[in-house]
Amino acid sequence: MNHGNLETTFTTTTNPAPAPRLLDDEGLGEPIAPAPEAEAERPAVVRDEFDPTLSFRDAKERAIGLWERWYVAELLRHTRGNLSEAARVAHSDRSHLRKLVRKHLR
């Protein structure tokens, strides 16, 4: 058991899409995530070094932040940047998803 590295693999099976754009009310947008890789199935690896100076709470918040960033980026890649559709897919409020986008992808 290796406690030095935390490695969690998330796999997506979405088709490649253009770089997601956050669409505003006028349908205009700006790029918010890097272009997807060419392959249809992309593993997303979240790696984090063990830091003994962090409390459990701080380490957990950091891990959740990494996962949220990955999830939001993949969700928007899946919906080609359509925030309303992404909110429907995630069963989430659009305003909450917009906050996550601003927090993690800007």
Which token pair is 91? 């069963």
> Cα 17 from chain centroid?
15
Report the C-alpha gap between 97 and 39 in whole angstroms. 26
Tens digits of residue pLDDT in 18-62? 444 554 444 445 444 444 443 455 555 666 788 899 999 999 999
Q: Does the pTM of the predicted model rise above 0.85?
A: no
Q: Closest Cα to residue 62, out of 72, 48, 52? A: 48
Do residues 71 and 87 touch, judged by C-beta distance below 8 A? no
Report the C-alpha gap between 74 and 62 in whole angstroms. 19
